[in-house]
């Protein structure tokens, strides 16, 4: 994890002030055998509705990152995942919350994707063909580009 948080929408005030609690979130980077990865849109009624992100959600009390990811992907997408491989952690300072994103790669899952929260999904490669992208998603695209030695793959936030 980098030392300083990624600051999203720096011109907007921070809810809860400088001493607000950090929210831990498990995030799944689902990758198919051909290298394509899944992104989903944030549903109506949520902060940043319509922005694209990697699926996942908040850890509940007593949950590990993997347990939370299993629960969230079943609730949101209707899939049961195999192993979740911890990958990277990124701290993102959004106006509404300070979020610690625990990114895990997932290459094994069962079940057909069902968008259970009214979101949209898209299998993507680099560069992304969907926009706008949630600020916390941007570093992941850069990491994927580095792994694949792909220049020009990062996406600006709309």
> The tokens 């899952």 sit on which residue?
109
Residue 126 lies in a domain: yes
Within the chain, which residues score under 50 in pLDDT? 152-158
Question: DSSP 3-state helix, strand, coil percentages of the chain (rounded to 5)?
Answer: 15, 30, 50
Which residue segment(s) compose the domain that 100 sits in? 6-148
Residue 113: predicted pLDDT: 97
C-alpha 62/C-alpha 37 separation (Å) is 29
C-alpha 2/C-alpha 143 separation (Å) is 13
Residue 151: predicted pLDDT: 55
Where on the phi/psi map is residue 45: left (φ > 0), alpha (ψ -120 to 50), or beta?
left
Residue 156 lies in a domain: no
Residue 154: predicted pLDDT: 47
Residue 153 lies in a domain: no
State how many domains the chain has. 1
Rounded to 5 degrees, φ, ψ at 128 are: -60, 145
Residue 156: predicted pLDDT: 45
DSSP codes, 11-51: TSPPTT-TTPPEEEEEEEEEB-TTS-EEEEEPPTTSTTTT-
CATH number at residue 143: 3.90.79.10
Q: Which of 150, 98, 99, 104 is nearest to 128 (CA)?
A: 150
Residue 55 lies in a domain: yes
Query: Rounded to two decimals, what is the model's pTM?
Result: 0.91
Residue 158 lies in a domain: no
pLDDT tens sequence across 37-55 = 999 999 999 999 999 999 9
Residue 1 lies in a domain: no
Residue 108 lies in a domain: yes
Residue 148: predicted pLDDT: 87
Q: Which of 48, 17, 76 is nearest to 138 (CA)?
A: 48
Residue 90 lies in a domain: yes
């Amino acid at each position: 994890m980098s030392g300083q948080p990624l600051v999203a929408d720096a011109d907007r005030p921070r809810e809860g002030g400088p001493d607000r609690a950090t929210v831990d979130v498990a995030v799944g980077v689902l990758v198919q055998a051909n290298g394509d990865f899944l992104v989903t849109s944030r549903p109506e009624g949520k902060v940043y509705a319509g922005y694209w992100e990697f699926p996942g959600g908040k850890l509940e009390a007593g949950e590990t990152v993997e347990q939370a990811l299993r629960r969230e992907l079943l609730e949101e997408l209707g899939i049961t995942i195999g192993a979740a491989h911890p990958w990277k952690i990124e701290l993102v300072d959004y106006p509404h919350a300070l979020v610690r994103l625990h990114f895990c790669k997932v290459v094994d899952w069962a079940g057909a994707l069902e968008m259970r929260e009214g979101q949209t999904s898209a299998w993507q490669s680099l560069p992304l063909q969907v926009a706008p992208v949630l600020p916390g998603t941007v570093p992941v695209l850069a990491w994927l580009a580095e792994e694949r030695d792909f220049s020009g793959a990062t996406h600006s936030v709309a």
